[in-house]
Amino acid sequence: MHTSYLSDAQLATAHLTQTDDIAATVRELVNRIGPGARICVLPEGPLTVPYVAVPAL
C-alpha cells in the first residue's frame, strides 16, 4: 500500500505493507510469482470496492 495517512504499524494490523514505489513493487511481485501473476490495484483505496462476480447456478 502507498499511503501517507497510516503508519507501518497500522498497515500491519490489516496485513498490508507500505511501498514507496508502486511500479517497483509490481515488478518485484511479478518476478517472484511469475508471468501469470494476478495483481489488483485499487487506485482510490477505500473508495474502490472490489468484488468477484459469481455465475448464477
* Residues 6+ positions from 11 with CB-CB distance below 8 Å: 1, 3, 17, 18
Query: Does 22 reside within a domain?
Result: yes
d(CA 42, CA 22): 12
What's this model's pTM, rounded to 2 decimal places? 0.59
pLDDT tens per residue across span 1-51: 888 888 999 988 988 889 999 899 989 989 999 988 888 777 777 676 667
Q: What is the pLDDT of residue 50?
A: 64
Q: What is the pLDDT of residue 55?
A: 85
Query: Does 17 reside within a domain?
Result: yes
What values do phi and psi take at 39, rounded to 5? -125, 135
Domains in the chain, number: 1
Where in the sequence is the domain holding 29, given as residue range(s)? 8-44
Q: Between residues 57 and 30, which one has the greater pLDDT?
A: 30
Query: Does 50 reside within a domain?
Result: no
